Amino acid sequence: MIKSLTASGVEVKENKVFCIEEIYERNFTMVYRVSFSYMKNKPDTDDIVSEVFLKLIKIKPVLNNTEHEKAWLLRTASNLCKDFLKNRRHKNKNIDDYENIESENQFEIDETLRIVMTLPERYKNAVYLYYYEGYTTEEIAKILKKPHSTVRNHLHEARKLLKGVLEYEK
């Protein structure tokens, strides 16, 4: 494998350019949202997002295209969040405690997203990736390392739960 580092910090692997800055700009919001869906608070989310991109810099995986890049970042963020939560000694904070915090990279949390975040983990991930990130069920199955039929079933079950919750609120 041919590797060389340019003066701008861009690494070239087998004629492919690995530019951290471009990857960061393309994927920051997605990584932040996925991390926030697990962590439920800004400080821990910021830590996880930093860890994801730090890991990207250290490992420098060969990313064949932008879809592979997104999948790698999603899987890494998900795994880091799960590891953090496994080792966490205190309870999760409520997302409502953090809705008024200002940030330069703030994203809007609408009422539907707030309800999606209360779903059980198996449903929340599938719904978020399908509706908010635009992945197909086949792509979600690969990202989550689950059978395609399981992802479809999780989406079906989540829709039933969401329908019940949203109708109840009206």
Q: Which domains does the chain have, with CATH numbers?
A: 7-108 (1.10.1740), 110-170 (1.10.10.10)
Gap between the Cα atoms of 41 and 98, Å rounded: 6
Provide the token pair at 75. Answer: 């899987």
Residue 167: its pLDDT value, please?
77
Provide the token pair at 107. Answer: 């994203």
Residue 121: its pLDDT value, please?
84
Residue 105: its pLDDT value, please?
46
138-158, pLDDT tens digit by residue? 988 988 889 999 999 999 999
The yes-or-no verdict on residue 30 having pLDDT over 90 is: yes
- As a whole number, the mean pLDDT across the chain is 80
The yes-or-no verdict on residue 5 having pLDDT over 50 is: no
The yes-or-no verdict on residue 68 having pLDDT over 60 is: yes
Q: What percent of the chain has pLDDT over 70?
A: 75
Global pTM reads 0.55
Residue 87: its pLDDT value, please?
81
Mean pLDDT of 8-19: 52
DSSP per-residue letters across 124-167: HHHHIIIIIS---HHHHHHHHT--HHHHHHHHHHHHHHHHHHHH
The yes-or-no verdict on residue 170 having pLDDT over 70 is: no
The yes-or-no verdict on residue 99 having pLDDT over 70 is: no
The rounded radius of gyration (Å) of the Cα atoms in the chain is 18
End-to-end CA distance of the chain, in Å? 59
Confidence of residue 33 (pLDDT cuts 50, 70, 90): very high
Q: What percent of the chain has pLDDT over 90?
A: 36
Residue 134: its pLDDT value, please?
86
